[in-house]
Structure 1
Amino acid sequence: MTSAPDRLLLRLEWRVIRRLDGRVLGSYRTAYRGAGLDFAGLRAYVEEDDARRIDWNATARLDEPQVREFTEDRELTLWLVLDRSASMTVGTPGRAKHDVLADLAMTLARLFGRGGNRVGALLHDGVATRVVPPGTGRGHVLRIGHELDRTATAPPTAAPTDFAAMLAAVASLARRRSLIIVVSDFIGTGAWERPLLRLAHRHDVVALRVVDAADDDLPEAGLVLVEDAETGEQMLVDSSDPLFRARLRDAVEEREAEMAGRMRRAGVPLHRIDTDRDLLTSLVGVVASTQWRRA
């Protein structure tokens, strides 16, 4: 009997991944070139060479300066930073924000992993963090899927998401230059702009903001009890009051502007992923407007 992650990945492979394959891997470019990790051989030293690459043993043996050559490391390391906090449970069953996040995570892991790249994941529930070390292959994608399944069934933590801690955690894990994709609704507290700036200075960072209609608006239903999914705080409001609705719209616009400003200052592309939108359409838009870079 297949598990839920197996069924999800199979569905995504048929409906999304096969149609996206090639668009992602063909659209990121080498931005930096280095010595790489694999020794390729020796050759005679020329004036422009870095003296630190001289092989002194071979030089003494051949009585002529020799430098080491390396095969450039062409693999990409992708880190998925996944927000599993309480606010991500908002939405209709099967299409809540945490469901869309799982679809995104497994699609991206499978797409990039098929090119021989290593994919790791960091799942943050607002307080605690689970880590799946980078790996390759379909089985590794399923391992990420099982962690997503486990965190989806765990009781949500009623605490504001600590984005600074989440970003600091992935910064400590990503030892080499990596592509880091943060998938979240970015509803939380704290000053996380500086950690984001530091992360983006060293790595290629892309933000996918998962949004449900309930994040931005309330139906006109008179008196309703609303609850902050992050803290559990409840408040009775008149959803039909024009003044309340105007203040709500202003607050949403202010939040959107602040979010865009933070990402722009950090140089991080921000993409909105709506829960009621087709996943393939959303990802095609992301791929088309993003230059995936690898070091």
Structure 2
Amino acid sequence: MTAPDRLLRRLEWKLGRRLDGRLQGAYRTVWHGTGIDFTDLRAYVPEDDVRHIDWNVTARLDEPYIRQYTEDREMTAWLVVDRSASMRFGQAAGKESTATELAVSLARLVGQGGNRVGAILYDNHRQQVIPPRTGRDQTLRIARELMRPPSPGRQGATTDLAAMLRLAAVTTTRRRSLIFLMSDFIGETDWDRPLAMLTHRHEVVVIRVVDPAELDLPDLGLILVEDAETGEQLLVDTSDPLLRDRLAGQVNEREAALAGAMRKAGVDAHRITTDQDLLSALVDMVRRSGRRRR
């Protein structure tokens, strides 16, 4: 077993909110509720299930108390992966390769506790839903579909991120789930409301995949650049200081707008770059998981 494999086996994703599940599998949440391991008693509040009231303690103290248990629960996780044309930009095999490697690692990480993992692979021209299942074969299936070349599609339209999020909401409506959303967030800008609706029901982990060249344009002289989604081409002098200053200002504006939209949706996005060590990035994401409680 390689060092990354050993590390993946030691990692455990912590939840920041209560999800749906059954008393099954080796996954133990941080939440109290129904289960087999009694942990504590606490005063009853109106939102509690009356079936959990401990009547003996209640009669003794003349105040209603409920029993708390540590829950063993199966969890359902979804990988929502943006497969649009802009994801093919970047170092090595591009942002798409980074998202694929992260998605497979997360499928292995979450699935190793007997949890179900599904996937939604999206671009404007083709959407694929892989229903959630358990086991190594499911991880292999997701990896196989992610490594398939995406459909060439038609140029001229930017990614409809809101439609991707609405598809995720419809697909995952049956039960509350842990959702990993991977995208570069290049596309239509009306996605903050659908994302907020998704986070209202589910625990959503947003992973924004970017390439360093999108944040700081390298000085390469005169180059021909092409918009991967619309096909529009432009001759650019990357050594022009005025152009570089203008682009830097636009990057800062876009970063601020994205951060504002994420805040409106109630999420803290992880930013992963294509030149980053993905294992270290994954460890950092796991370390930060579960900090937000709802």
TM-score > 0.5 by shorter chain: yes
* Paired residues of 1:227 and 1:235 also in contact (CA < 8 A): yes
Query: Structure 1 residue aligned with 2:2, among 1, 9, 14?
Result: 14
Structure 1 residues not aligned, in runs of 5+: 1-12, 42-47, 54-70
Match of 2:260 in 1: 261
1:169 to 155, 164, 167: 167
Aligned to 2:235: 236
Counterparts of 1:260-279 in structure 2, within 5 Å, are: 260-279=259-278
Q: Secondary structure at the match of 1:21?
A: helix
Cα gap change, 1:140/1:292 in structure 2, threshold over 3 Å: closer, same or farther? farther
- TM-superposed CA distance for 1:34, in Å, is 7.7
Tell me what 2:18 maps to: 32
**CA–CA distance in structure 2, aligned partners of residues 101 and 117 of structure 1:** 21
With 274-283 and 155-164 compared, the bigger mean Cα shift is at: 155-164
In 2, distance between residues paired with 1:195 and 1:215?
25
- Counterpart pick for 1:23 among 11, 28, 35: 11
1:285 is aligned to 2:284: yes
Q: Which residue of 2 aligns with 1:155?
A: 152
Aligned AA for 2:166? A
CA gap of 1:293–1:131, structure 2 versus 1, over 3 A, is: farther
Runs of 4+ aligned residues of structure 1 deviating over 4 Å after TM superposition are: 33-41, 48-53, 292-295
Find out whether 1:218 has 2:206 as its counterpart.
Answer: no
> Of residues 116, 119, 122 in structure 2, which corresponds to 1:118?
116
Shift of residue 24, structure 1, vs aligned partner: 2.3
Could you tell me whether the CA contact under 8 Å between 1:167 and 1:195 is conserved in 2? Answer: yes
TM-score w.r.t. the length of structure 2 is: 0.78
Distance in structure 2 (CA, Å) of the matches to 1:50 and 1:273: 42
2:196 alignment counterpart: 197
Q: CA deviation at 1:93?
A: 3.1
What is the Cα deviation at residue 72 of structure 1? 5.5
Q: Give the number of aligned pairs.
A: 257
Letter in 2 for 1:186: F
Quote the residue 2:127 is aligned against. Answer: 129
The answer to whether the Cα contact below 8 Å between 2:91 and 2:275 also exists between their aligned partners in 1 is: no
Map of 2:96 onto structure 1: 98
CA contact (8 A) 2:19 2:177 kept: no
Q: Is the 8 A contact 2:23 2:35 kept in 1?
A: no
Q: What secondary structure sits across from 2:2 in the alignment? A: helix
Distance 1:18 1:203, change over 3 A: same
2:179 is paired with a residue whose SS is strand
Alignment-mate amino acid for residue 32 of structure 1: R
Task: Give per-residue Cα distances to partners, 1:47-86, cap 9 Å, x unaligned.
Answer: x895799xxxxxxxxxxxxxxxxx9661111110001111
Matches within 5 A, 1:58-97: 74-94=73-93, 96-97=94-95
Please give the TM-score of this superposition, normalised by the length of structure 1. 0.78
3-state SS, counterpart of residue 19 of structure 1: helix
Displacement of 1:35: 9.3
Q: Give yes or no for contact 1:239–1:245 (8 Å, CA) kept in 2.
A: yes
Residue 133 to residue 98, structure 1, CA distance change in 2 (3 Å) = same
Task: Provide the C-alpha distance between the structure 2 equivalents of 1:84 and 1:161, rounded to a whole number of angstroms.
Answer: 9
Instruction: Please name the residue that 1:251 is paired with.
Output: 250
| SS of structure 1 residue aligned to 2:187 | coil
Q: Deviations over 1:220-251 (max 9, x none)?
A: 23322111112111112221111110110011
Answer 1 or 2: which has greater helix percent: 1
Give distance in 2, aligned partners of 1:34 and 1:153. Answer: 33
Using the alignment, how far apart are the partners of 1:208 and 1:33 within structure 2?
20
CA RMSD of aligned residues (A): 2.9
* Change beyond 3 A, Cα 1:33–1:116: closer
Residues of 2 paired with 1:242 and 1:30: CA distance? 45
> Where does residue 139 of structure 2 map in the other structure?
141
**Percent identity (aligned):** 53
Matched to 1:162, the amino acid is: D
